[in-house]
């Protein structure tokens, strides 16, 4: 099997490339390196079934040889990154998606799209099942991420209907683990960075907003099973263990043993109040659920960050 993985040098993409190569696949990894890094795939660079190309998929792709799957993960993914790169984020989730779909159609390959829990916006249904259509502000700052993800889901479904491209849409909830960038602005790397420096942990608002965090190895297992299963989705992939942001900050401070205090700062515009995946479909269709507890996953991530960041 041969996959083209866009965003393959990013946090999640690099873990997925490793899994595909370990499963015996050939992988062509394309990454614009806007938020990805060659260091993330350093362990794969010498592998004969892995190839990395620095390439922006908003340009059409002319790829030699057979392709079985186009896995479209490319996009800035942290709120800080997509607010810093709003146009690039809109482009990779529109022009980039069309280019990936055209490649899949040309190669008679399947298309897997990395959608997101952000398609649910600030949800009015909790936990969120795939049947929920969401509550997204189409003109707010986060729309540069949410809307292209929604648009890409629509484009994928249209290519399946109009051209028979086999499509799979996964909606990925908050995921964390080794290879997150130290300054990508997300809660987990921020709190770890601050705790390791003995600096105050910056909780936005009063910290009562919730997130449900999935360790990256569990997520990759879910993606692998989804790839090998029947069905288009959309399929929620995430860990339904929900915590408040304040609980998350306190847990990271405790695990780091830093004695850092908590400071309360401004809340970003349209920051979702609650987020938790309903993973009934993944449990039933894939026999999948996460196994790594938040304590264990954060401990592993802290250990990695101690080595990689300091």
> What token pair was written down for 2?
């041969």
- Pairing label, strands 26-31, 201-204: unpaired
Query: Which residue number, 44 or 252, has a Cβ lying nearer to ligand UDP?
Result: 252
Binds ligand UDP (CB under 6 A): choice among 105, 126, 204, 300: 204
Instruction: Map the footprint of ligand UDP across residues 60-119, applying CB under 6 A.
Output: 78-79
What are the tokens at 17? 């490339």
Long-range contacts from 154-162, C-beta under 8 angstroms, 24+ separation: 155/94, 155/97, 155/98, 155/101, 156/97, 156/101, 156/111, 156/113, 157/232, 159/101, 159/104, 159/105, 159/111, 160/232
User: Does residue 260 touch ligand UDP according to CB under 6 A?
Assistant: no
Residue 140 found at the interface with ligand UDP (CB under 6 A): no
CB of 79 to ligand UDP, least distance (A): 5
- Residue 232: CB atoms within 10 A of its CB come to 12
> Per rule CB under 6 A, is residue 190 in the interface with ligand UDP?
yes
Q: Give the DSSP per-residue string, 228-289.
A: TSS----EEES---EEEHHHHHHHHHHHHT----EEEEPPPTT--S---B--HHHHHHH---
113 forms bridges with which residues in the sheet? 72, 169
Our finding on whether 49 is near ligand UDP (CB under 6 A) is no
Piece in contact with ligand UDP (CB under 6 A), picked from 16-24, 40-48, 186-194, 216-224:
186-194
Q: Which is nearer to ligand UDP, 56 or 118 (CB)?
A: 118
Q: Does 271 bind ligand UDP (CB under 6 A)?
A: yes
Other C-beta atoms within 10 Å of 304: how many? 15
Residue from 35, 174, 175, 212 in contact with ligand UDP (CB under 6 A): 174
For ligand UDP, the binding residue among 4, 41, 187, 298 (CB under 6 A) is: 187
Q: How far is the CB of 178 from ligand UDP (least distance, A)?
A: 16
Least Cα distance to 176 among 92, 255, 258 occurs for 255
Known catalytic membership, residue 145: yes
Catalytic residue of the set 82, 145, 159, 215: 145
Q: Which of 245, 255, 282, 294 binds ligand UDP (CB under 6 A)?
A: 245
Question: What is the total count of residues that contact ligand UDP (CB under 6 A)?
Answer: 15
Please state, in angstroms and rounded to a whole number, the distance separating the CA atoms of residues 61 and 146: 25
Positions that interact with ligand UDP (CB under 6 A): 78-79, 174, 186-187, 190, 202-204, 209, 211, 245, 267-268, 271
- Active site residue ranges: 145
């Amino acid at each position: 099997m041969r996959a083209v993985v866009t965003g393959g040098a990013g946090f999640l993409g690099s873990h997925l490339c490793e899994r595909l190569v370990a499963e015996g696949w050939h992988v062509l990894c394309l990454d614009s390196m806007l938020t990805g890094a060659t260091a993330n795939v350093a362990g794969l660079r010498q592998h004969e079934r892995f190839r990395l190309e620095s390439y922006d998929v908003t340009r059409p792709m002319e790829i030699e040889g057979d392709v079985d799957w186009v896995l479209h993960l490319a996009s800035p993914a942290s709120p800080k990154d997509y607010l810093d790169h709003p146009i690039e984020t809109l482009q990779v989730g529109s022009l980039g998606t069309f280019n990936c779909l055209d490649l899949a159609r040309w190669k008679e390959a399947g298309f897997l799209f990395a959608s997101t829990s952000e398609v649910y916006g600030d949800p009015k249904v909790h936990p969120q099942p795939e049947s929920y259509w969401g509550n997204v502000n189409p003109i707010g700052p986060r729309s540069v991420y949410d809307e292209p993800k929604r648009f890409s889901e629509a484009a994928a479904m249209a290519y399946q209907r109009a051209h028979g491209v086999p499509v799979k849409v996964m909606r990925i909830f908050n995921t964390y683990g080794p290879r997150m960038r130290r300054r990508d602005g997300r809660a987990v790397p921020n709190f770890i960075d601050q705790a390791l420096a003995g600096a105050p942990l910056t909780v936005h608002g009063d910290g009562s907003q919730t997130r449900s965090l999935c360790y990256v190895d569990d997520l990759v297992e879910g993606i692998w099973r989804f790839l090998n299963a029947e069905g288009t989705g959309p399929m929620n992939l995430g860990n339904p263990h929900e915590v408040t942001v304040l609980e998350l900050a306190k847990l990271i401070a405790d695990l780091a043993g830093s004695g850092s205090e908590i400071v309360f700062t401004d809340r970003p515009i349209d920051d979702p109040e609650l987020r938790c995946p309903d993973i009934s479909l993944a449990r039933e269709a894939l026999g999948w659920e996460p196994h790594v507890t938040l304590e264990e996953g954060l401990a592993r991530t802290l250990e990695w960050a101690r080595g990689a960041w300091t």
